[in-house]
Structure 1
């Protein structure tokens, strides 16, 4: 049977790229005894970064799941990417997790992608604890990072550890341990055993004043949550350790605070207390509210499923890894239990699915020794057998159906045309692209039969580069690749009232229809287009004919715009009047009239080309700031802010994606390799007139 649900922790490691997520994961596996040697990212020997592309680049690209035991706790841990191009991996993991560890670099602090993953965790109401990593690095500053969390992320950090020293061994006061503020003890970690041996001693006098100052802030936060703790303080007594931990756990689960720890994962310093904090403060599935869904055939009716084996079975598919022996479906079981060789129902596809095998997951593969007969509520596992479900779909009991909320992924922002070198590779390319689509919800592939090319789309240059390498190296395809291009959208510049009509002879029938339509832009140009039926009750257009007219407007709104057929956004469309004849005013006539009205409205309101805009963050020494700002301005970027973080200056800018191809290389060149940059999608803005004109003519 499955692990005791009270001791189960489903957690994720989330952070900006290079903050040390994978190193933290590796150290946890080593210290827990789940592996006997610590893997190194720079050596390509980590368990979770087992893809050749990850090992070559030294970054995480695909989320990976590992399981370990620590004290009485059983942990399912998902290591996620930090690069914005692979943010879908973070999105799908946070959707199914109960808690998260947010890792910050003690030198770089709160970075652009740190803000993105924090917002994602907020959206899914995920409790979190914070680990300030790399305390042994030059320029490490615990207090600076701690003080950034509240203003930049809207968090409420509460330190439960502080560092002893900061920086590498050659500085005056190097990082050499941590002070546990809950138990008021000094913890030091033996380098000979790579952090396995921990020495606990009393805090020296020269460190006690600082420790008591930080502990006072901890006790203040605890008293805001727990009346018993406040009672001890009012009576001038020490607050017991179990009361402090209970209050911190409550605040963490309620997301009113985030316990903060620190250390150096590379050297094993502070990781054992972090693993203990995961058990103490992050929730079990029982601490999370029941998951809510709808009845598949009555979507207006909400139902809930609690984290109990006695409830009807429900689970969410959050990742699919295609395999020759049967696709591996990663699922989170929310309620009930799941048995091997059983049948379940997928309400999203209205299909029954087989569960042939159940496996525990290790990294991105099935655990060799992890096949099991049954798993219960709260667990994360791999199932083999389903054929119809896709990422975000629900699996449930066929007799007690429920459809859980799916996972929403961002739209792609960049495309590239590809075509096979020879016709013999065409079918294999189609099959491979279909497999990649099932694996990655943010990857798109659309075939253009006229040109013999396929347009692939993704979240950024790196995303498409990884796809390129997979097609050529992993699947051995001979493929031509063309220059990437941005994914534009279209909207309108103003409001228009038009009348669309159908007045034509078809056979012996004179068809007639008139439909009055108004279009206007929405305040947010990137918002989804909405269509309203504003035909008055006395309007003669009723029934199936009325439905056909409105549906035609909706179908056209989901298609392309008037300039070059790019997806439409930011429009409000409403039909408000109609005229019919006794004969010839049927569904076909009103579909034609609605289409005519749609085309007239877009042209009259003035089509506008929208280009994707990125939020760019550049971290640089002051010496190179002028060159970097000048380069950004040449790329049509708007400088939004500059701030000093330690010895570095951070430039935040908003720049069109079109101008940012190859930017990371330009930053390295302009700064002699000393500056770094990151980008994330910000929204859409009107493209320059010359860009729009090239599509018009």
Structure 2
């Protein structure tokens, strides 16, 4: 049986989970529809999801249609949990983007649509809630074409929108207006179809148009639109038919070398790790030893494959399928199984979190349990960037927003029995070098106490390039283990710059390197005091790198969001001064009917304050969309963040701390 790994994506409250429930019911997987409001849906299994009525963790269910096994992945819609969507995108064959017929295209809808387009994931659009009061499918269709993509086409129309009897009617075969719209859309992407149409319009039959639509949808060039209601079931059967007909099924080779990707990790009843993985090629059997994350290897002790709703035990899983793998004890989200799959778009599809907070246990005795609990949460969501400050005995996590903070707090209390509080949320800045700096320390020369020579040059790199490490010495002039130690230490050290923020967009070049070869006394015993080790380079590199960085200098940059504000026309003069107090920079204001559409930029740390003030400023009529756009230099005094390790900028204290650690290790 063919397989289709399908993602359901939407802005929060567009009805995505309800649509998943309806699809399972229509496919015969469940006999009774669950309700988000009642906390009884199949995919919202966390107690917190049921309480809040939102999806927090992605969930996989399965059903069969027209000879195709559909592994359906329900993803969170709230922007605070965009990291869950990030991980799912890399394993999808196709997607259904859900848009509310009442609220229309919203901020998260635009972010998701752009990402699906960039990754060229075949996508159908479903306009949901046509039965709700205020539903206006025609308006939403115009918004989709205007704000998401012009390459869309509705495959039917809605009757009695905004009423409980709203229905979706597909355009019948031979419908002249619909055929004309199809020709206009499809010929824009298919020269052969255009030539055939120019030669003889009658040669382009409805069947040929339908075939061309399926082909271009599978190539993510066009996006068919359906509409209906997940609650009443209107239009869902036609959506199911479109999923089977228009979205591409996966093709994999069971006999090829193993290639897969882990997109979710959870804990079982006994605390064991369970990895959710998409198998792109090859086959995994129980008791197979598989390689992941470089040279890690473990034996698979059990496999679950999705069939008829839930995962069922299986002896093996083949290419194209999604499986639950047991036995991979130290697996992480994002790990490649076997050979890393070649997927478009790179590893990261969304902006990183731009906020952080310190988590404090309400009971001092809970500190070890808090660390263990946060470490497990970091397994499920690596982007929380768990950071431990050993000097101050503090734990910090990165956030996308305040709702994520509330969820972490509730999870720690309810699931781990560790009540916590949070310090005030702060903005995560970055540092960028402003010049070129060099430094070198020579082996055997004071003040270098380590058995190694390291010289480094740091200079600005392209924006969004991260950290690039280059060799300015011959590759064979030093053992690879020493070069690897220097490179890894450079990356780790740059997590804290001159003012404590991560240093990005720079090029670091190893300009000098030297070592003392392994030496022994006459009786043949290795003498560490006479021979260089990787530890010498790990301890020396931070001193050299931070000296070079000090000479280059850095500038602190803060994250900035681009916003789009829709507000009543008579309140523009009231809102503009408030934006100024929040350091926002308004752009153009466009008058549309009785409202203004205002765009601009606002610091990420002020977005929450703007969201809180907006209802009172706009009589509850204003709507705000915002998303990370770029980093800009901080205006005024540069903020600092305390370091969480021994500071190589203070040489004496650093050497004392490092020397004590080295002595302690040698005594053991």
TM class by shorter chain equals 0.7 to 0.9
- Equivalent residue of 2:639, what SS? helix
Displacement of 1:233 after TM fit?
8.1
Q: 1:593 to 1:372 in 2, by over 3 A?
A: closer
- Equivalent residue of 2:253, what SS? coil
Moved more, 18-27 or 247-256: 18-27
How many residues were matched structurally?
Answer: 624
Taking the aligned partners of 1:511 and 1:281, their CA distance within structure 2 comes to 64
Q: Could you give the per-residue CA deviations for residues 499-534 of structure 1, whole angstroms, max 9, x where no partner exists?
A: 54559766999999795x65433352x531223334
Check the 8 A contact 2:501/2:641 in 1, yes or no. Answer: no
Moved more, 342-351 or 687-696: 687-696
Displacement of 1:252 after TM fit?
0.8
Displacement of 1:247 after TM fit?
1.3
Partner of 2:658: none
Displacement of 1:486 after TM fit?
1.8
Taking the aligned partners of 2:567 and 2:386, their CA distance within structure 1 comes to 37
Displacement of 1:635 after TM fit?
0.9
Asked whether 1:658 is paired with 2:653, we answer no
Asked whether 1:434 is paired with 2:368, we answer no
Taking the aligned partners of 2:297 and 2:428, their CA distance within structure 1 comes to 37
Partner of 1:528: 466
Taking the aligned partners of 2:129 and 2:591, their CA distance within structure 1 comes to 20
Check the 8 A contact 1:489/1:567 in 2, yes or no. Answer: yes
Moved more, 549-558 or 86-95: 549-558
Taking the aligned partners of 1:512 and 1:386, their CA distance within structure 2 comes to 38
Q: 1:641 to 1:134 in 2, by over 3 A?
A: farther
- Equivalent residue of 1:42, what SS? coil
Q: Could you give the per-residue CA deviations for residues 82-111 of structure 1, whole angstroms, max 9, x where no partner exists?
A: 222211211211111100111222344333
Q: Could you give the per-residue CA deviations for residues 100-149 of structure 1, whole angstroms, max 9, x where no partner exists?
A: 11122234433322222123323433111112223344554444443444
Partner of 2:519: none
Taking the aligned partners of 2:569 and 2:623, their CA distance within structure 1 comes to 13
Check the 8 A contact 1:503/1:513 in 2, yes or no. Answer: yes
- Equivalent residue of 1:684, what SS? strand
- Equivalent residue of 2:24, what SS? helix
Displacement of 1:78 after TM fit?
0.9
Displacement of 1:443 after TM fit?
1.8
Displacement of 1:39 after TM fit?
2.7
Asked whether 1:92 is paired with 2:35, we answer no
Partner of 1:20: 15
Moved more, 105-114 or 438-447: 105-114
Moved more, 546-555 or 353-362: 546-555
Displacement of 1:678 after TM fit?
4.2
Matching residue within 564, 570, 590 for 2:505: 570
- Equivalent residue of 1:217, what SS? helix
Taking the aligned partners of 1:165 and 1:578, their CA distance within structure 2 comes to 76
* Correspondence list, 1:253-332, <5 A: 253-286=218-251, 307-325=252-270, 326-332=272-278
Taking the aligned partners of 1:139 and 1:635, their CA distance within structure 2 comes to 33
- Equivalent residue of 1:342, what SS? coil
Partner of 2:290: 345
Check the 8 A contact 1:552/1:595 in 2, yes or no. Answer: no
Displacement of 1:618 after TM fit?
3.6
Matching residue within 167, 180, 188 for 1:177: 167
Taking the aligned partners of 1:598 and 1:58, their CA distance within structure 2 comes to 49
Partner of 2:34: 39
Taking the aligned partners of 1:87 and 1:646, their CA distance within structure 2 comes to 33
Check the 8 A contact 2:498/2:554 in 1, yes or no. Answer: yes
Q: 1:71 to 1:402 in 2, by over 3 A?
A: closer
Partner of 1:631: 578
Q: 1:616 to 1:82 in 2, by over 3 A?
A: farther
Taking the aligned partners of 2:239 and 2:352, their CA distance within structure 1 comes to 35
* Correspondence list, 1:531-546, <5 A: 531-534=469-472, 543-544=477-478
Check the 8 A contact 1:521/1:572 in 2, yes or no. Answer: yes
Taking the aligned partners of 2:427 and 2:642, their CA distance within structure 1 comes to 14
Moved more, 24-33 or 659-668: 659-668
* Correspondence list, 1:592-671, <5 A: 598-643=545-590, 649-671=596-618
Taking the aligned partners of 2:357 and 2:6, their CA distance within structure 1 comes to 36
Q: CA RMSD in A?
A: 3.9
Taking the aligned partners of 2:606 and 2:600, their CA distance within structure 1 comes to 13
Check the 8 A contact 2:453/2:514 in 1, yes or no. Answer: yes
Matching residue within 310, 313, 317 for 1:367: 310
Check the 8 A contact 2:113/2:148 in 1, yes or no. Answer: yes
Taking the aligned partners of 1:464 and 1:383, their CA distance within structure 2 comes to 30
Q: Extract unaligned runs of 5+ from structure 2.
A: 517-529, 644-648, 650-668
Displacement of 1:562 after TM fit?
4.5
Check the 8 A contact 1:419/1:452 in 2, yes or no. Answer: no
Moved more, 543-552 or 620-629: 543-552
Displacement of 1:395 after TM fit?
2.9
Check the 8 A contact 1:563/1:695 in 2, yes or no. Answer: no
Q: 1:361 to 1:669 in 2, by over 3 A?
A: farther
Displacement of 1:439 after TM fit?
1.2
Displacement of 1:413 after TM fit?
1.9
Check the 8 A contact 2:261/2:277 in 1, yes or no. Answer: yes
Displacement of 1:550 after TM fit?
9.8
Displacement of 1:480 after TM fit?
3.6
Asked whether 1:244 is paired with 2:209, we answer yes
Q: Could you give the per-residue CA deviations for residues 230-251 of structure 1, whole angstroms, max 9, x where no partner exists?
A: 7578545485544332211111
Q: Could you give the per-residue CA deviations for residues 275-334 of structure 1, whole angstroms, max 9, x where no partner exists?
A: 110001000003xxxxxxxxxxxxxxxxxxxx0334344332111111233322211122
Taking the aligned partners of 2:168 and 2:301, their CA distance within structure 1 comes to 48
- Equivalent residue of 1:309, what SS? coil
Taking the aligned partners of 1:245 and 1:641, their CA distance within structure 2 comes to 42
Partner of 1:496: 436
Displacement of 1:660 after TM fit?
2.8
Partner of 1:215: 179
Q: 1:273 to 1:233 in 2, by over 3 A?
A: farther
- Equivalent residue of 1:632, what SS? helix
Moved more, 609-618 or 235-244: 235-244
Partner of 1:356: 301
Matching residue within 50, 53, 59 for 1:55: 50
Q: Could you give the per-residue CA deviations for residues 253-285 of structure 1, whole angstroms, max 9, x where no partner exists?
A: 122211122223333221211111000100000
Q: 1:653 to 1:495 in 2, by over 3 A?
A: same
Displacement of 1:432 after TM fit?
1.2
Check the 8 A contact 1:545/1:586 in 2, yes or no. Answer: no
* Correspondence list, 1:460-539, <5 A: 460-492=401-433, 494-502=434-442, 515=455, 518-524=457-463, 526-534=464-472
Check the 8 A contact 2:276/2:322 in 1, yes or no. Answer: yes
Asked whether 1:453 is paired with 2:394, we answer yes
Displacement of 1:470 after TM fit?
0.6
Taking the aligned partners of 2:95 and 2:70, their CA distance within structure 1 comes to 12
With the length of structure 1 as denominator, give the TM-score of the two structures.
0.78
Check the 8 A contact 1:550/1:575 in 2, yes or no. Answer: no
Taking the aligned partners of 2:302 and 2:573, their CA distance within structure 1 comes to 59
Displacement of 1:157 after TM fit?
1.0
Taking the aligned partners of 2:337 and 2:454, their CA distance within structure 1 comes to 46
Taking the aligned partners of 1:377 and 1:511, their CA distance within structure 2 comes to 50
Q: 1:264 to 1:239 in 2, by over 3 A?
A: farther
Q: 1:645 to 1:266 in 2, by over 3 A?
A: farther
